[in-house]
Structures are given as C-alpha cells and as structure tokens.
Chain A
Amino acid sequence: MKRIIFLFLMLSSILFANKDLKILNWPEYIDVDILKEFTSTTGISIDYLIYNNNEELIDQLKTKEKFDVIFPSSSYLSKMIEQNLLSTIKIEKLKNYNQIDTFYLHEKFKNYSIPYTWGTTSIIFNKEKITLNSFKNLWDKNLQNKLFILNDMSDMFAISLNSLNIDINTQNKDDIKKAYLKLLELIPNIKGFYSNSEKLAIDFINENGYAAIVYNGDISNIIKNKKYQYIYPNEGALLWVDTIAISSNSLNKKEAYEFIDFIISKDKALQNFKEIGYAIPNKNLKYNSVIYPSQKEKKDLKRVVIGKEEALYKKYWKMFLSQLSLKGVTYE
C-alpha cells in the first residue's frame, strides 16, 4: 500500500511539476495580480523566479532546471540565439500579437522574441544647476562629483563611444580601448554608481546630484518636479528593449504561449504598465512624453547590441570599476 502511494506521489509530482509554467523575469517586472489571474483563468500553476541581469539569466538557462518563459534584453538576443537558448516564436499562436508595436525590435530577432517593455537610457539633470544637451556634456568640469551613473556596461560604453563619435556597437579593439580611457576621464565627476536604477534616482535627488544616467521608466515621479528634466540628447538617446522569449528547453510550450498571449493583451498590458512604469509596446496604449518619445526622437534612438568583443568590453569594464572603487564611489 505504502509503495502504491509513493508511486502515485512520484508520478503526480512529475506530472504536476511539468504542468507548472516556469518563468524567469527581472525584479518588479510584472504586476503579480496578472500571475494570479492567469492561474485563475487557465488553472495553470506558475513558478516564477527572479534574476538581476542578463548574465544571470543565461546562467540559469544553462542549469538543469528547465524554464519556459523568459524576458531577455534585446542586446543579449544575438548571443542567446547563438548559444541556442531560445525557441522560435510562432506568432500565429498568439491572438494578441497584432496589438504589439514591433518598431522597437530589430527585424532579425522577431522570430525569437516579442518586445515586452522598452525604454531609453539618457540623462536627467537639475535645471537649476546645469543644462545639458549631449552625452558629451557629462565630462564637463562643473559636474565634478555631481554625476550619478548606472552599472550598465553596454550603455556606459555606448555613451563613451558616442562622445568619441565612434559607432556605439563597435567591435574594434582600439576603439573599445579608447572608450575605456574616455570612461576613466569621467571618474572625477562620478558621485554615485548604482545597479538599481530606482535607488539611483532616489539618491540622486537626496544627495543633490546635478546629473544622472537613468532608465526612463524609473523617473516618472522625479520629473513631476519641474526642477528636473529628462532629455533625449542631440545625438539620440540609447534605446533598450526587453523582450519575451521561450526557452529552447521549455517543456510547457503550449502554456508558455497561453501566458504570453495573456500578458500582451491590451488589458494586461495597461495593468502591467501602471505597475512597472516602463513603456509597453502595445498599440492601444496612450503615450506620455517622457516614457514615449516623439516620432523624431524615436527615429534617433540607438540600439546597443552585444557583439563578439563582449569579453574585451567586460575586461575594460572591470578595470574601470576598480579605478572607480579606488576613488571610493558609493556602489549600490
């Protein structure tokens, strides 16, 4: 009798485990009510884990555990496709796909992902202290110890390369080195260094920073204060897109499609937008100027893509970080 029960438990645990939809996502990157509603509506259980950066996501996908729905940044898509971590997406399985504004996603990724959120990385500054038009202004002397930056290697290199008038996605080693040296020159201005963009925004205000590199999704509250301005610089802001994808080893593809279709619907997109504050590329959503740039600004947006010299970028980034830490900059 005991053995039968044991077998039953074993079987059911396998069956039910497989039925759990396994999701990997960034922190605070979904309205959790959507998860509950999805379960309530479909009866599908969800197992949802959080990662903090794309590298961690890649590492997770390489473990024995099999995930279904993931949310990679577009800049990492090439790499992940190369490493065969993604399933192709069959858009015909998604009833709500036609609501997606696919402008933000590069054509070559459209078979592997759907844009989930997007945003810009740009500058916010205190108008009372300073005026900025370009990323080049970040190196200005009057910003000494007044600048807050993000722990975002690709964006910071892009800003550095941009100020050197070099292609932000260059894979030329000399160029990359130049960008690194240029970043070192920025150190005297740097007051705070943050992984958490929201925390950066808060400290930037509290510590009377003059300027900061931020994700536009995290500043909707700050810009309510007219002192602060978020700009799309002359050379164009940096565009980032986070996407929805299905892991190549997904065991619950049917449920994965069901889930994706559920969250990209107009209602859930709006619900999600309200909760997480980042732009969601749903054609039905109304825009505001900070989150959603004008058509001109939209055209100028530059996409960062992780290329073959990623290791070199990383090496210089590390060297930069060690230099930065010598200065004693707060690292959060």
Chain B
Amino acid sequence: MNNSPIRVRISVTFISLIVTFAAIVILVNYNNSLKNSYELSDKIINQAAQSIIEKTKYYLSKSNTSLKILGNNNKTYNIYDIEGLNREVMWELLLSEKHIASVFLADRNSNFFQVRRDPKLAIRKIENVNGKKVDFYEYKDKNDITLGYKSSLATYDPIVRPWYLNTNEKRIHISKPYIFSSTKKLGITISYGSLDKYGNKLAVSAVDITLNTLQEFIKKQAKSIKGEIYLFDKNYNLITSSKDKLNNHFLKNETINKNDFEYFKLKNNYQSGDFKGIVRNKGDSSIFEISSLELDSNNKLGVLVTIPEDIVLGRTKEMLLITIVISLLFLSVFVFLSFQMSKMISRPIAQFADDINDLRNLKTDKELTNDSKIKEIYQAQKSLISLQHGIRAFKKYMPSDLVKILIDTNQEAKIGGDEKNLAIMFTDIEGFTTISETLTPLELTHHLSIYFDEMEKVISKYNGTIDKYIGDAIMGFWGAPVDIEEPIIKAAQCALAMQEKLTELNNKWKKEGKAELKTRIGVHFGKTLVGNIGSPNRMNYTIMGDTVNVAARLEGINKSYGTNIMVSEEVYLMIKDQFNLEYIDQIELKGKTESTKIYTLKV
C-alpha cells in the first residue's frame, strides 16, 4: 500500500475538492453565458434584419406608391395627356427621395417621360414630333428653374428595354442590380405595369433606385453587429450587401451563385417565413437569419444577416477567461490555506508519529508534548506519554536490546535459545550482610539503588546486557542478544570502569559518612546457552550453563586471594595483550574436571 504524509493527503483532498468545485462553477457559468450569447446574438441579428427591412421598406414604399399612382394614370390616359399631373408625381418623388436616380414612364408607342437626377437634374421626353421621335431634355435646378435644353433625334427606345419587357403583370417587378449608364452607380429598377381590361400592356412606370445609400445603411448596420448583411430578391439575386467585394462582382457584371451561400443550401425556399440557424464551416462558422420582406403578393425581398460565431462567443470566452482567472486566484488562496490547514492538522500527527517511532526504538528520554488543540490528538499524546513512562519503567526489567530486537524483528518472544560465545560477568558486594545490618531497610534500598544505577550505566555504556540482579549481585553478559565485536574486551573494560566508578562513589560516600562498598568481579568467556527460558506465559531472556557457574566462582575466589577482578584462563588468553593481568594461581574450579589458571585484572 502506498502511503504519503498526512499533509500531502489533506492538501490533495482539499485541492481536488476545490478544483472540482471551481471547475463545476466555471462550466455552469460558461454554459449559461454561452446560452445568453446565443440568445443575445439572436436578438441582435433579428433587430438588424428588422431594421434593414424597415429601411428597405421605407426605401421602396414611396416609390411603390408613386409607381401605382402613375400606373393608374396610365390606364386611363396617355402619358402626355396628363403630362402636368404625371410630372408633379415624378418630380415630387425624385426630389424627396435622394436614392431615386430617376422616375419614368413609357407607353407602348415608345413615348417616354422621365424625371432624372443624374448627370443633371432634368425632365426628359421622347415623343413624336412631326413623325419623328425626338429625345428632349429640359435641365432644371432644384427650384424647377430651367437651365437649358437638349434636343436630338431619339436613339433610345424604351419598349425594348428589359425593365419594360419584363414588366408584364400588374405587379411590382424588381430588376437585378446593374450599373446605371448615366451615373455608373449600382442600382435596381422597380417597375409596375398598367394593363388594359384585356390584359394588354398599356404602359410601364418605373423607378431607378441607386443602392449606395441603402448599401451605406446596410454597411453601417453590419458594422454595428460585426457581421454581414445581404439583401436579395426572390430569385436569390443579390441586390446589395455589406461586402464591398460582392459589389465589385456586380461591377464586373458577374452574377452571384446562390450556392455560394451555405445559408441557402439549408433552406431551398426562404419565402415561407423567417429562418435562422448556424452554418459551420472549417474555421468559419456563422450564425444567420433570413427574413423576408413582402413587396406585394408576388414579390419578396430577403434579408440575410450573418454574424461569425467567434464574435458571438467572443464575449462568452472573455467572460470565461475572467471566471477562470478569478477562480485561479481563489484557488491559489485556497491551496495556500489548505496547505496551512493541513500543516496545522498534520504537525501534531507527524510529531506523534515521530514520538511513537522514538518509543519503538526505546528512546524514552524525550520530553513528549501534550499541547494539541485537537481533542483526539490530545488524547493520543496523553496516552503516548503514559506509554513512554510504562516503557521507560519496563526497560528496567528487561535488556533493552532484547526488547529492541523483538520490536525490530516484529516477532513475538518464544521459548528457546542459542549457544553463543559470550563474555559473562558476576559482581558481588563484599561484606554485604555486615553492611546491611548497619542500615535501615529504606537506607539500604536507597544506597543499593544508587550503586546499581551507576553500575548499570557503566555496563550499558560498554554494551553489556544485565541478565538479572541477585540480591547484591549483578549478572551480565556480552555478545547477546546483539552480537558485538570483541565482547570479552568490552567486558574487561567494563570491569575496570566499574571499579573506577565505585572508587569515585566511595570517595563521595566517605565524605557523606555513608557506608563504602567494595565489589568483586568475575569474568569468564565461553560457549553459553542464551535465550528465552521459562514458561510460554512468563519467560526470561537469560543465560545458562557451566560458563555461568565459572564466572560466579571466579567472583567468589576474589575473597580468597584479595583481588577485585578475577578472570579465567580463556579470558586471559584473549585479552592478555591489551590488559594488565597478573597470574594468581592454578586451581580446580567447581564443576570443572581440569584445573585452570586464574588471573586478576588490574588497572
């Protein structure tokens, strides 16, 4: 199982929560503003389309009305029978509508009557004069003052012109856009036919409308919505658009293929109502709407408004960016806070883990903290302190190395032992019975505890293991449970150190008037059985065998030779080069068949 510090865990948990939350907020927000954007662009497009329709209506309405008036006149009268009346309608229309280039009438006898704006304001008549058609211009200023005339034989025959030929029905007819020869401006001709009761064409009234102003308006609208606008007739012929390029097409007299417009492919016939949608091309998606404008029962104009999706979504993306930036800002604050928080929570836990680890290593001297604000941790710390105290006490009854081994190897203590080469030491206080009689039991315990404490420290220092205290005696060994290098040298050094320490203690006690203690030490070395001995429920880690007895005997012999530290020949042979040893005797030791040499160890 992978494990990682609590701090990391907590941080990761917090951050993932926050990130998830932020992501959800951003997503919801994005979705909402996306929806709003589409709705808004829908509205914008619709408004643009409506304004174009209104403008176009306005653009054409007066012309249409005038055309119908003229058409009605034509039904009853010849063009020049009511010249004054017709002229008034035409003149008024031309002067009031800047986009009208010319208003004109033609009858089937090729008579032509025109009020025109360009290149000069003029009234033009083509009529029969003495059997010939004369084309006559009367140039005017805005106040109807005559500036001049032009008279020539007519070369222009209105009744062969497309606007005349194409106007068969009693309906409004709209030409394709073309370049007016008089002004070189792009325009359309709207015409209206007057028929007699047999349906024969009597006359046609027509208006030339330049598209400049309408295009300017359309361009302005398109610019304001950052899209494009196209105006087209019922046959999908483009009338004008916000794109200059398209008008350049017109100037080159090219027609626009409706298939150029994806929009039209989506719907074969826009006439059955408004239509909107999205056209998605590679890297060029647009939202569009097609609206229609009814001119009369048979003639409609279409307005196509498109806005690049990028523009529509631009605001949303902008909003998204802002949301993300704000979210990231909050996120980083939260991350910082969660680090702080996890640190706050994890620190006592980590400390606790450290403390437990120390305890496991039987380092029980450390002062444990118990200051957590978190109840559970506080309780745990409290328990740990109790445990530390317990272990510290327990350590006194057990060889700590042994406990450590048990902990380290993660094993339970079992009955059983090994034969190992060990150095074994026995110590005993000389004349202890006499001393004990001179002291109260409390004083005796106190005095002894100081003695044992100091001796134990020395043994520990030299890596010795104290097996047990027997009365005033200490039984210890080197080489188990932990293997150490040169256990006998350690044991020897320890024996000297113990004597030295005791001398020091005695000096102190002497000054204090307390009883001085003399210790006799026996050291032996040999194969010894070491292990857990006892019952499965209560066992001791201890040593057994002859070597133990030899060590005990050596200690006792000191009494006979007046020495402090007695060692066996085995010991002597191993340390003679390093220590000051003196041969004492060759004796037979109890439990041993052969006699052995004994030596005393000196400083």
Question: Cβ of B148 and Cβ of A37 under 8 Å apart?
Answer: no
Q: Please list 30 pairs of residues, one from A and one from B, whose beta carbons are closer than 8 Å in the complex, sorted by A's number.
A: A27-B145, A27-B146, A32-B136, A32-B138, A32-B149, A35-B151, A36-B129, A36-B136, A36-B151, A38-B151, A39-B132, A39-B134, A39-B153, A40-B129, A40-B132, A40-B134, A40-B153, A41-B130, A45-B151, A46-B149, A46-B150, A47-B148, A47-B150, A48-B148, A48-B149, A48-B150, A48-B151, A50-B146, A50-B147, A50-B148
Bound: A40/B126 CA distance, A:
12
19 additional A-B pairs beyond A39-B152, A40-B131, A48-B148, beta carbons within 8 Å, are A28-B146, A32-B138, A36-B129, A36-B134, A36-B151, A37-B130, A39-B132, A39-B134, A39-B136, A39-B153, A40-B132, A45-B151, A45-B153, A46-B150, A46-B151, A46-B152, A48-B149, A48-B151, A49-B147
Contacts between the two chains (Cβ within 8 Å), count: 53
Tally of contact residues, A, Cβ under 8 A: 19
**Interface flags, B115-133, vs A, CB<8A=1, else 0:** 0000000000001011110
Within 8 A of A (CB), among B148-176: 148-153
A39 neighbours in B (Cβ, 8 Å)? 129, 132, 134, 136, 151-153
* B132: chain A residues within 8 A (beta carbon): 39-40
Residues of A within 8 Å of B148, CB to CB, are 47-50
Q: Which residue of B has the minimal Cβ distance to A32? A: B149
Is A43 positioned at the interface, with any CB of B under 8 Å from its CB? yes
> Would you give the 0/1 interface string for A35-67, flagging 1 where the beta carbon is closer than 8 Å to chain B?
111111101011111100000000000000000
Query: What CA separation (Å) do A39 and B153 show in the bound complex?
Result: 6
Contacting residues, chain A, for B152 (C-beta < 8 A): 20, 39, 45-46
Contact residues in B for A33 (Cβ distance below 8 Å)? 129
Residues in B lying within 8 Å of A, measured CB to CB: 127, 129-132, 134, 136, 138, 145-153
Contacts of B146 in A (CB 8 A): 27-28, 50
Closest partner residue, chain B, to A24 (CB atom): B148
CA of A41 to CA of B151 in the docked complex: distance in angstroms?
A: 12
Contact A35 B130 (CB under 8 A): no
A38 to B132, CA, bound (A): 11
Kindly identify, within residues 98 to 130 of chain A, every residue whose CB is under 8 Å from any CB belonging to chain B.
none
Could you tell me the distance between the alpha carbons of A76 and B482 in the complex, rounded to whole angstroms?
149
Most A C-beta atoms less than 10 A away, residue of B129, B146, B151: B151
Within the complex, the shortest CB–CB distance from B26 to chain A, in Å, comes to 64
How far does the alpha carbon of A38 sit from the alpha carbon of B129 in the complex, in Å? Answer: 9
Please give, as numbers and ranges, the residues of chain A lying within 8 Å of B151 by CB-CB distance. 35-36, 38-39, 45-46, 48
Query: What residues of B have a CB within 8 angstroms of the CB of A37 in the complex?
Result: 129-130
Bound-state Cα–Cα, A48 to B122, Å: 13
A41 to nearest B CB, angstroms? Answer: 6
A154 CA / B28 CA spacing, docked (Å): 92
List residues of A whose CB falls within 8 A of some B CB.
Answer: 20, 27-28, 32-33, 35-41, 43, 45-50
User: With a CB–CB cut-off of 8 A, which chain A residues contact B153?
Assistant: 39-40, 43, 45
Chain B residues with CB below 8 A from A38, complex form:
151
Is A45 in contact with B136, judged by CB distance below 8 angstroms? no
> Complex formed: what's the CA distance from A160 to B511 in Å?
166
CB neighbours (8 Å) of B127 from chain A are 36
CA distance A282 to B147 in the complex (A): 28
Residue of A nearest to B150 (CB): A47
Q: How far is the CA of A28 from the CA of B144 in the complex (A)?
A: 13
Contact check, B150 vs A40: say whether CB atoms are below 8 A apart: no
User: In the complex, what's the smallest C-beta–C-beta distance from A183 to chain B, in angstroms?
Assistant: 30
Chain B nearest CB from A7 CB (Å) reads: 20
Nearest chain B residue, comparing its CB with the CB of A19: B152
CB neighbours of B150 from chain A (8 A): 45-48
Contacts of B138 in A (CB 8 A): 32
Chain B residues with Cβ below 8 Å from A50 are 146-148
Contact A40 B149 (CB under 8 A): no
Q: What is the CB-to-nearest-CB distance from A135 to chain B, in angstroms, rounded to a whole number?
A: 32
In angstroms, Cα B129 to Cα A35, docked, is 10
B125 — nearest CB in chain A belongs to which residue?
A: A36
Cα A47 to Cα B152 with chains together (Å)? 9
Nearest residue, chain A, Cβ from B128: A40
Chain A residues whose CB sits within 8 angstroms of the CB of B147 once the complex forms: 49-50
Chain A residues within 8 Å of B129, by CB: 33, 36-37, 39-40
Q: Which residues of B contact A49 (CB under 8 A)?
A: 147-148
Q: Using CB atoms, name the residue of chain A closest to B130.
A: A40
Q: Which residues of A contact B149 (CB under 8 A)?
A: 32, 35, 46, 48
Q: Chain A residues near B134 (CB, 8 Å)?
A: 36, 39-40
Chain A residue at smallest Cβ distance from B136: A36
Cα A36 to Cα B133 in complex, Å, equals: 9
Task: State A63–B112 Cα separation when bound (angstroms).
Answer: 34
Minimal Cβ-Cβ distance residue in A for B147 = A50
A27, A36, A41 — which one has the most chain B CB atoms within 10 A of its CB? A36
B40 to chain A, nearest CB (A): 52
A38 CA / B145 CA spacing, docked (Å): 23
- When chains A and B are docked, how far (Å) is the Cα of A40 from the Cα of B138? 17
Name the distance in Å between A294's Cβ and chain B's nearest Cβ: 35
Q: Which residue of B lies closest to A30 (CB)?
A: B149
A252 → B minimal CB distance (Å): 14
Contacts of B131 in A (CB 8 A): 40
Nearest CB on A from B87, distance (A): 14
CA distance A45 to B153 in the complex (A): 7
A46 to B153, CA, bound (A): 10
Chain B min CB distance to A50 (Å): 5
Chain A residues lying within 8 Å of B130, measured Cβ to Cβ, are 37, 40-41
Shortest C-beta distance, B139 to chain A (Å), equals 8
Give, as a whole number of angstroms, the nearest-CB distance from A20 to chain B. 8
Chain B nearest CB: distance from A51 CB in Å? 10
Q: How far is the CA of A20 from the CA of B148 in the complex (A)?
A: 14
Complex CA gap A33/B83 in Å reads: 15
Closest residue to A39 on the B side, CB-wise? B151
* Minimum C-beta distance from B166 to chain A (A): 27
Specify the chain A residue showing the minimal Cβ separation from B138. A32
Nearest 9 interchain pairs by C-beta: A45-B152, A48-B149, A40-B129, A46-B151, A49-B148, A40-B132, A39-B151, A36-B129, A40-B130
- Within the assembled complex, what's the spacing in Å between the Cα atoms of A48 and B131? 23
B395: shortest Cβ distance to chain A, in Å?
A: 117
The distance in angstroms between the C-alpha atoms of A32 and B146, with both chains bound, is 11
Q: Which residue of B lies closest to A47 (CB)?
A: B150
The complex places the Cα of A321 from the Cα of B114 at a distance, in Å, of: 42
Alpha-carbon gap, A247 to B132, bound state (A) = 29
Interfacial chain A residues near B136, Cβ < 8 Å: 32, 35-36, 39
**Docked complex Cα distance between A46 and B130 (Å):** 17
Residue of chain B at shortest CB distance from A21: B151
Measured between C-beta atoms, what is the minimum distance from A233 to chain B in Å?
34
CA distance A35 to B150 in the complex (A): 9
A33, A47, A48 pick with most chain B CB within 10 angstroms: A48
Q: Distance (Å) between the CB of A52 and the closest chain B CB? A: 10
Q: How far is the CA of A28 from the CA of B147 in the complex (A)?
A: 10
Name the B residues within 8 Å of A20 (CB-CB): 152
Measured in the bound complex, the distance between the Cα atoms of B151 and A48 in whole Å is: 8
Q: Which residues of B contact A41 (CB under 8 A)?
A: 130
Q: Which residues of B contact A35 (CB under 8 A)?
A: 136, 149, 151
B132 CB, nearest partner CB in chain A, Å: 4
Distance between Cα atoms of A40 and B151 in the complex (Å): 9
In the assembled complex, the Cα of A43 lies from the Cα of B134 at a distance in Å of 9
Q: For the complex, what is the distance from the CA of A32 to the CA of B130, rounded to whole Å?
A: 14
Expressed in whole angstroms, the minimum distance between the Cβ of B424 and any Cβ of chain A is: 130
> What are the residues of chain B within 8 A of A32 when measuring CB–CB?
136, 138, 149
Cα A82 to Cα B24 in complex, Å, equals 100
* CB-CB nearest in chain B for A42: B153
Question: What's the least CB distance linking A262 to chain B, in Å?
Answer: 12
CB distance from B142 to the nearest CB of A (A): 16
Closest chain-A Cβ to B265's Cβ sits at a distance in Å of 38
Closest chain-B Cβ to A316's Cβ sits at a distance in Å of 30
Q: How far in angstroms is the closest Cβ of chain A from B274?
A: 46
Q: A38 CA to B149 CA in the complex, in Å? A: 13
A40 surroundings in chain B (CB, below 8 A): 129-132, 134, 153
Bound: A27/B149 CA distance, A: 11
A311 to B148 Cα, complex, angstroms:
30
